[in-house]
């Protein structure tokens, strides 16, 4: 088994976020929400834009929320999704923080 040790963000959190974004539908949902801007995007708009069933959309949004990439807020009768930009910023920083350096090690068990 190979263990990789990094500083900063926990590797398990990064893996969870990358797994969530590694699905074609979830990546499309995330991009749609990012493009909506800071006001967020109603779930109904996402459903219409991507033409996917409500139950499928709910499952994918839950996975993104659980990974910490999205937040949801009820606004009257609408459910609005917003990107958690700080989570994506942390993930991007995690991915490049050790670029061209010796600040991490791989240890085999």
Would you state the pLDDT for residue 89?
Answer: 93
pLDDT in tens, the chain (109 residues): 444 555 567 889 999 999 999 999 999 999 999 999 999 999 999 999 999 999 999 999 999 999 999 999 998 888 999 999 999 999 999 888 766 665 555 556 5
Contact 6, 102 (CB under 8 A): no
Query: Crossing angle of helices 11-21/54-66, nearest 10°?
Result: 160
**Could you give the CA distance from residue 91 to residue 15 in angstroms, rounded to a whole number?**
9
Tokens 């010796």 -> residue: 102
Contact 71, 81 (CB under 8 A): yes
Would you state the pLDDT for residue 66?
Answer: 97
Would you state the pLDDT for residue 102?
Answer: 58
Buried b (16+ CB within 10 A) or exposed e, 18-57: eebbeeeebeebbebbeebeeebbbbebbbeeeebeeeeb
């Amino acid at each position: 088994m190979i263990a990789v040790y990094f500083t900063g963000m926990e590797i398990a959190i990064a893996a969870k976020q990358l797994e969530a974004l590694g699905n074609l539908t979830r990546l499309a949902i995330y991009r749609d929400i990012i493009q909506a801007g800071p006001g967020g995007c109603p779930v109904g708009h996402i459903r219409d834009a991507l033409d996917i069933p409500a139950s499928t959309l709910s499952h994918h949004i839950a996975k993104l929320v659980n990974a910490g990439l999205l937040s949801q807020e009820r606004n009257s009768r609408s459910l609005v999704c917003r990107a958690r930009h700080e989570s994506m910023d942390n993930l991007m920083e995690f991915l490049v923080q050790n670029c061209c350096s010796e600040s991490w090690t791989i240890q085999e068990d």
